[in-house]
Structure 1
């Protein structure tokens, strides 16, 4: 495995005082077609109890994955859904979405989850909004006898001589940038290889344990909170540390278009950002 670059998650707040760890790159340096990953991980409800009250988006896709706890999603399209551990939720916000995400009252054991932003090509940014989740179609899981497990959250994955494809009726196979997302977990010192050469851009976010990369000359160790950009043309050899490994693999095709970002809006020009703000203020996004 060849690591091209590394970003570290930084502590931040969003919503109504929710504490998060964030990796963001709105300059298309390394993550394209991905823009940002937020991780919420706490057993203290005060870190997330305020949730994310109603707010808008335009020009992005949001991809949410929950490991522990959950939240209730509501949006202006009329969708109301409890998203719990193991569930994935995807919104193609297109021309505009207003939604909220509030912690579930019966989720008392803390919250651990991720929201990932993907950029949308200019030609799609003003398409009608769409919403999907996997509450009725659980994500495919491939387990290897050596203690390696891969959960296919989006796209198609080849792993341990098996192929997993997210059910087509979830429509998550159509993420912007031909993106594919998987949750890889390894027990202590377990090794596994994944061929990612079909993608132009590959990153892995480490949320648990350690990743060891061994070569003839040295062993490099990367810890939780690291986002690694790796060379997809070099066979990816993943090895868990003494505490194992949990990581989200983010693969796709760079969109390579100009980005202008302001808060919840990601467009291609400043004029488009100003139009998004005006449309939201004038109520053209709808109401929640």
Structure 2
């Protein structure tokens, strides 16, 4: 396994004062086709109770994964869904979405989840928005002989002689996301050489390798097999893979386009009410 870069998530706030840890990739290179990885992890209700009130998006895909607690999603397309532990949600915002994500009542016992942004190719940024979630099904998983478990959150995954596919398999850049749990001293080996970008974000515990600690993202060379080894206790990480889009990015808040002119138009369209409302 070849490590190309190690990045530590930075603390920040978003929404109505929600405390998160963020990996930012709006340079369009470092984690392309992904743009951002936000982790919300807290047992203190005050860190997330404000949630994310109604706000707009254009030109991106949002992928939400909940490990503990839950949020209620609502958007101008008429979707209103509770996303709870072990569930995922994907939204292709295209030409415009208004949505909110507010913590569920049982989230008072803590929250752990992610929102990941993916860039959309220029040709798709003005497509009609789409929504999908996994609330009506169990996410598929594989466990190998050492006890390592891979849960397919998005895309297709091959592990040894086993193959699984998530129902969410239409992400931009052929994005694939999995959650891997490694019991103490377990190991997992995955060939992701068919992707152009592979990153791993450790969300729980620490792996045997000194770089793999909670709150760190590791960029890996997909030309080399990925080998992950559990440490002295259980650990967990997200593994993200995709094909870089390799396009210029113009970013302002919730909008990601290709030019400044397109950004200004997005703002005008939003203020003109063209995104709808909830």
- Which bin holds the TM-score, normalised by the shorter protein? over 0.9
Q: Does residue 204 of structure 2 align to residue 208 of structure 1? A: yes
TM-score, L = length of structure 2: 0.98
Q: Does residue 15 of structure 2 align to residue 11 of structure 1? A: no
Bigger Cα displacement from structure 2, 44-53 vs 221-230: 221-230
| Map of 2:44 onto structure 1 | 44
Q: How many residues align?
A: 278
In the TM superposition, what are the counterparts of 1:53-92 in structure 2 within 5 Å? Answer: 53-92=53-92
In the TM superposition, what are the counterparts of 1:272-287 in structure 2 within 5 Å? Answer: 272-287=262-277
User: Retained in 2: the 8 A contact 1:34–1:118?
Assistant: yes
Matched residue of 2:90: which SS?
strand
Q: Distance in 2 between matches of 1:156 and 1:61?
A: 18
Alpha-carbon RMSD across the aligned residues, in angstroms, is 1.0
| Map of 1:94 onto structure 2 | 94
| Map of 1:267 onto structure 2 | 257
Superposed displacement of residue 191, structure 1? 1.3
TM-score, L = length of structure 1: 0.95
User: Retained in 1: the 8 A contact 2:57–2:97?
Assistant: yes
Q: Does residue 187 of structure 2 align to residue 191 of structure 1? A: yes
Q: Does residue 152 of structure 2 align to residue 162 of structure 1? A: no
Matched residue of 2:266: which SS?
helix
Matched residue of 1:106: which SS?
helix
User: Retained in 2: the 8 A contact 1:73–1:80?
Assistant: yes
Note the residue ranges of structure 2 that are not aligned, 5 or more in a row.
none
Superposed displacement of residue 105, structure 1? 1.1
| Map of 2:25 onto structure 1 | 25
Deviations 1:46-86 (A, max 9, x none): 00000000000000000000000001000001100000000
User: Retained in 1: the 8 A contact 2:208–2:232?
Assistant: no
Q: Distance in 2 between matches of 1:160 and 1:149?
A: 12
User: Retained in 2: the 8 A contact 1:209–1:240?
Assistant: no
Note the residue ranges of structure 1 that are not aligned, 5 or more in a row.
214-219
| Map of 2:221 onto structure 1 | 231
Superposed displacement of residue 275, structure 1? 0.3
| Map of 1:216 onto structure 2 | none
